[in-house]
Copies of this chain bind each other. A is one copy, B any other.
Amino acid sequence: MTNLPAHHSNDVDDCAFRSFLDRVADKWSLLLIVTLENAPKQRRRFSELKKSVPGISQRMLTTTLRNLERDGLLVRHFFPEIPPRVEYELTTLGKNLMCPIGELVQWIRQNWTTITNARNEFDKNNMAKSTGVKEC
C-alpha cells in the first residue's frame, strides 16, 4: 500500500525532496498548519495564530507564514481596513497536506507516553549523559 515508485532508490538523495522536507519537518510549520486546520472558519488572523501557538515569536510567525505561503500551502487575505486585518487560510494543497500531518500528530498523541517512558528508562541507564533535550 505504501510501496514507493519503482525508480525510487534506497538512498535519500533527492534534492527537491529534501528541500521541501526542510519545510514540512519544521516545528512551527507543522504547528501552524494544524492550528489553521482546526480553525473554526478555516481562517485565522495573525494575532489569533500568535495566541494559538504559544511560544512562537512574532518574527518566526511572520517568517513561517511567508514560507508556507511561498510553497502554496496557505493564502494570505489582506483587508485594507484601519486597523488592517489579515486572515490566513490553508489552500487545497495545504488541507491536502493535513492528511499525512494529521496522522503524524495522531500518532504522537497516541504514543508519547510510551516514548516518555523509553526516555526515562534510557536516561536511567545513561545517567548524566545529556542528550540536549530540554525539560519543560
Seen from chain A, the residues whose Cβ lies within 8 Å of a Cβ on chain B are 2, 4-5, 8, 10-22, 24-27, 30-31, 34-35, 38-39, 51-54, 63, 66-67, 69-73, 93, 96-97, 99-109, 111-119, 121-123, 131-134, 136
Contact = CB atoms under 8 A, between A and B. Distances in A.
Contacts of A136: 15-16, 19
Contacts of A39: 10
Contact of A109 (B17, B69, B93, B116): B17
19 contacts: A2-B99, A2-B102, A2-B106, A10-B38, A11-B52, A16-B113, A17-B108, A19-B112, A20-B108, A21-B31, A22-B27, A24-B104, A67-B133, A72-B119, A97-B107, A100-B100, A100-B104, A100-B107, A101-B104
Contacts of A96: 107, 111
Contacts of A34: 12
A70 B119 contact: yes
Contacts of A116: 16
